[in-house]
Amino acid sequence: MKKKKRIIGIDLFAGAGGMSLGARLAGIDVVLAVENEPNAAATYAFNHPNTRLIVDDIRNVKRFDFEWKNREVVLFGGAPCQGFSTSNQRTRNINNKVNWLYKEFVRLAKLVDPDWIVFENVKGIVDTANGEFIKRILADFKAIGYKCTSGILCAKDFGVPQERSRYFLMASNNGCALNIPRHINKCQITAKQALHDLPKLTNGANIDILPYKENASSAYAKMMRGNKTKCMNNLVSKNGPLIIDRYKHIPQGGNWENIPKRLMNNYANYNNCHTGIYKRLDENKPSVVLGNYRKNMLIHPWEDRGLSVREAARLQSFPDWYVFKGSIGYQQQQVGNAVPPQLAKYVFKALLTNV
């Protein structure tokens, strides 16, 4: 029987490491990663100690000093996505230079010549500039010899307790089209199933390590906890009294529209608020998209406060052993920007069925 080659991964725009963790969970050995932001890089290095990490602007990376020949390689990652987000209409255009960083992915794909490519981004990339970016991205990968398949996947369909949709492009250089994974046959995981056992916290909580509030009763919470008795990153932004007063008026599933007008007088026109502002999670449903959950004032299901970093990480499917570094603001940003590892795992598993 022919011995299978070792599958190795290279993570570009690695962030805090959500895609790398998903690749590892699928059985891929991630050997190299590139990340520019120092706090995200610190988080990545702590949680992926066996992966060589290049902390630099990807535009400065001209070569990789390791041997990848005679191994099957998957190159993966997602260029910065803020410029493609539907909540960022001002910069969703061709003139935004950040939107062109995907070209660096293509450049390094030409350098590495990987067997497989997995490129991800926010779903808003599909219709940015009337679809021009997607056309160019697909054309650029095709021009260097890759056959592409792409689609939008929702995290809640893959065991993640969150309504988060991402665009995935999967490509091969052997002429075969890869299959985008279908949703797994599991019930959707609710916010209550994800969060019920985590420590009870207050507004502005700043004690990093705490014991769990209770035993894990859901399969998801048990999976996230493993054999731990305490968890880290139990940090909550401190909101002022007016903000907390607003929280008290919002039922589960509600938003800013439930706040009395007398408490919204500091808004020039509060009717322009989008539906995600002051959203309280519904315990019986997956979470809404986290994104910038601090700025959006995303509210805990049962407590009148924002989400802790660990709670947000649970909703993103990061296990409790995964530690986030930096100040609370940087930790929140890392979690909000990440690709849910459980979603990434199923994408990589789908890829490996073609190996």
Give the N- to C-terminal CA distance of the chain in Å, as an integer. 15
pTM: 0.92
Q: Where are the beta strands (DSSP E) in 223-299?
A: 230-231
pLDDT in tens, 109-161: 999 999 999 999 988 888 877 788 889 999 999 999 999 999 999 999 999 99
User: Domain locations in the chain?
Assistant: 7-184+340-352
* Residue whose structure tokens are 């769990």: 212
Phi and psi at 272, nearest 5°, equal: -85, -5
More confident of the two residues 6 and 138: 138
Q: Are 269 and 263 in contact (CB under 8 A)?
A: no
Query: Distance between CA atoms of 233 and 332, rounded to whole angstroms?
Result: 10
Annotated catalytic sites, by residue? 81
Which CATH class, in words, describes the domain spanning 7-184+340-352? alpha beta
Q: What is the pLDDT of residues 268-324, one digit of tens each?
A: 777 667 778 899 999 999 999 998 888 889 999 999 999 999 999 999 999 999 999
Beta strands in the chain (DSSP E): 7-12, 29-34, 52-54, 72-77, 116-122, 147-154, 165-172, 210-211, 230-231
Give the Cβ contact number of residue 215 at 10 Å: 10
- Cα-flanking dihedrals φ and ψ of residue 183, to 5°? -65, 150
